[in-house]
Structure 1
Amino acid sequence: MLVVTRFVVDGEADDFVRRAHAALGALAACKGYLRGRLGRAYDDPAHWSIVTEWESVGAYRRALSNFDVKVHATPLLAQSLDEPSAFEVLAESTPGGDLKVTTSDRA
């Protein structure tokens, strides 16, 4: 599962980056977390994203109730753009060109 959370950061980004690092650290400590990245748009440096990957939607939802996540990640995530952020992975390719297609878990 992918979680793509986008932000528009007005002004100095140092505080946002510090808080994003803390959020990634709190999320990374949770069961089911696979990886996470903080990125900034090349074309407009006010636009940022945090992308995390999880074993399942359940693992992500359980992580959101973790105390450290509530302290370090939730306040930051609350400032994200109001748009869908959780995505199920339906196809994945490898550097060799192999494509793995999966069916949706949605009912």
Structure 2
Amino acid sequence: MIVVNRFRVPEDDGATFRADLQRAHAALAERPGYLTGTIGRNVDDPELWVLSTTWEHVGAYRRALSAYDVKLHAVPTLLRAIDEPSAYEVADPGTDLNIRQTRSLG
């Protein structure tokens, strides 16, 4: 499962935001089910940032969000994300894609 969080941050706040995003990423990376992640800044629009993480499955990501350290060090930064869907399933050749349905946080 891939999670893509995009952020619009004024250039003057970029250095502070970068440190906040690194702290958020580090908190997420400590959680079970985390596989990898990357922080990036758009090359054409330096106000646009991204945190992309990969997880074993959606449940691992959702459980990570409820962990105390993540609530303390990541959620305040993640709340600044652009309001758009952020969770994606991997669609490699031959994989079965999920059907559209409501999912619980369990």
Name the count of aligned residue pairs.
99
Gaps spanning 5+ residues in structure 1: where?
A: 92-99
Q: Are 1:53 and 2:54 counterparts?
A: yes
Write out per-residue CA displacement over residues 41-77 of structure 1, whole angstroms, 9 at most, x where no aligned residue: 0001110000000000000000000101001110101
Corresponding residue for residue 91 of structure 2? 90
Higher strand share: 1
For 2:3 and 2:65, locate their aligned partners in 1 and report how far apart those are by CA, in whole Å: 12
Q: How does 1:1-107 map to 2 (within 5 A)?
A: 1-10=1-10, 11-91=12-92, 100-106=93-99
* Structure 2 letter corresponding to 1:7: F
Higher helix share: 2
For 1:43 and 1:56, locate their aligned partners in 2 and report how far apart those are by CA, in whole Å: 32
Identity over aligned pairs, percent: 48
Runs of 4+ in structure 1 deviating by more than 2 angstroms, as ranges, are none
Superposed displacement of residue 14, structure 1:
1.0
Gaps spanning 5+ residues in structure 2: where?
A: 102-106
Task: Compute the TM-score of the two structures, normalised by the length of structure 2.
Answer: 0.89
Secondary structure of the equivalent of 1:15? helix
Task: Compute the TM-score of the two structures, normalised by the length of structure 1.
Answer: 0.88
Corresponding residue for residue 95 of structure 1? none
For 2:28 and 2:96, locate their aligned partners in 1 and report how far apart those are by CA, in whole Å: 27
After TM superposition, the structure 1 stretch with the greater mean CA deviation from structure 2, 9-18 or 32-41, is 9-18
